[in-house]
Amino acid sequence: SVSAFLLNRSSDLAMKEVMILVNGHHKARALKAAIEGAVSHEWTISALQQHQHGIIVADEAATDELKHGTYKYFKDIEKENLL
């Protein structure tokens, strides 16, 4: 099954913290847009780039479309928190 929700930029950016879970290869394009793309109405998840305390938790399959350098960077800075 596919589950999704819409981000309302003004109200979501006003939250103290926002955490988004991204799992599965079918979400890889959305994760790429969120992290590597420009902030856009086409990918509302990209608004998280403007949030001071935005957190994305993703499994390996969801990272399939990220550039290798992006993947390596985030994996390195979070190595203490990974299992």
Q: What is the pLDDT of residues 35-53, one digit of tens each?
A: 999 998 888 888 888 888 8
Alpha carbon distance 81, 79 (integer Å): 5
Chain mean position to CA 42: 14
What does each C-alpha distance from 34 to 66, 72, 76, 80, 83 come to in angstroms? 10, 16, 19, 23, 24
Tokens of 68: 């290798």
pLDDT reported for residue 14: 67
| Percent of the residues in the chain that have a pLDDT greater than 70, as a whole number | 81
Query: pLDDT tens digits, the chain, 83 residues: what are they?
Result: 344 445 555 555 567 888 889 999 999 999 999 999 999 888 888 888 888 888 889 999 999 999 988 888 888 888 888 76
pTM score, two decimals?
A: 0.72
